Amino acid sequence: MRNVLRQDFIRLAQAKGLSQREVLLKHALKNALLPVITLLGLYFPFLLGSALVIEVIFAWPGMGRIAYEALMSKDYPVLFAVNLITAAMTIAGNTAADLLYHFLDPRVRRA
């Protein structure tokens, strides 16, 4: 956020007479959220990996536990299904990040 607040377009918005709140919400926050959106879109599929560790340690039922039990019993169709769901989560996370980019960054709309 600090880097964005030092940009020329922020100074221009302040020079136009916009309030500090408008400058922060309409201009600075949109541009500061772009790296956060990228990381969230990429970390979305890692939720399944985290679930696997937590569910195995605490013996909770869930997809992570199913994947672990399928791996131990060599149940390949279940492993393929878990892999398919992980791939779908990756695609969904990247698509959601791209859609959020479209709404937040006007440079993406022109491309």
- The separation between CA 43 and the C-alpha centre of its own chain, rounded to angstroms, equals 6
* Domain shared by 12 and 66, yes or no: no
* Domain shared by 24 and 49, yes or no: no
Confirm if 14 and 23 have CB atoms less than 8 A apart: yes
What percentage of the chain carries pLDDT values higher than 90? 13
Its domain, for residue 25, covers: 1-35
pLDDT number for residue 10: 85
**What distance in Å separates the CA atoms of residue 84 and residue 2, rounded to the nearest whole number?**
40
pLDDT number for residue 81: 93
pLDDT number for residue 71: 92
How many other CB atoms are found less than 10 A from the CB of residue 43? 11
Average pLDDT, the chain: 84
* Domain shared by 54 and 31, yes or no: no
Residue written as token pair 């990996």: 49
**Long-range Cβ contact pairs of 70-73 (< 8 A, separation 24 or more):** none
* Domain shared by 83 and 100, yes or no: yes
Q: pTM of the predicted model, to two decimals? A: 0.66
Most confident of 35-39, 40-44, 76-80, 106-110: 76-80
Distance in angstroms between the alpha carbons of the first and the last residue of the chain? 25
If one counts the domains in the chain, the total is: 2
* Domain shared by 51 and 101, yes or no: yes
